[in-house]
Amino acid sequence: MTPFAILFPDLSPEIFSISLGNFNFALRWYALAYIVGFLAGWWIIQRLMQRPTLWPANTAPMEAAKVEALLTYVIFGVILGGRLGFVLFYQPGYYMANPTEILRVWEGGMSFHGGFAGVIVAGLVFCQRHAVPPLQIADAMALVAPIGIGLGRVSNFINAELWGRPTLQPWGVIFPGARAESCPWDWPVAYCARHPTQLYEAALEGLVLFALLAFVVWRRGWLKRPGLVTGAFVAGYGLARFTVEVWRQADAQFITPDNPLGHVLSLGPLGVSMGQLLSLPMIAIGLGLLMWRRRA
Residue 20 within a domain: yes
Residue 56 within a domain: yes
Residue 89 within a domain: no
Global confidence as pTM: 0.87
Residue 265 within a domain: no
> Is 179 annotated as belonging to a binding site?
no
What is the pLDDT, as a whole number, of residue 106?
A: 61
What is the pLDDT, as a whole number, of residue 1?
A: 46
Enumerate residue ranges in the chain where pLDDT < 70.
1-3, 105-108, 179-182, 187-189, 268-269
Residue 205 within a domain: yes
HSE toward the beta carbon, residue 74, CA cutoff 13 A? 22
Q: Is residue 194 within 8 Å of residue 172, measured between CB atoms? A: yes
For residue 164, CA distances in Å to 173, 175, 249, 280 come to: 9, 10, 4, 20
Q: What is the pLDDT of residues 73-102, one digit of tens each?
A: 999 999 888 888 888 887 888 888 888 778
What is the pLDDT, as a whole number, of residue 278?
A: 87
- Counted domains in the chain: 1
What is the pLDDT, as a whole number, of residue 295?
A: 83
Answer left, alpha or beta for residue 109, where phi above 0 means left and psi between -120 and 50 means alpha: left
Residue 95 within a domain: no
Containing structural domain, residue 40: 6-61+133-220
Residue 232 within a domain: no
Residue 22 within a domain: yes
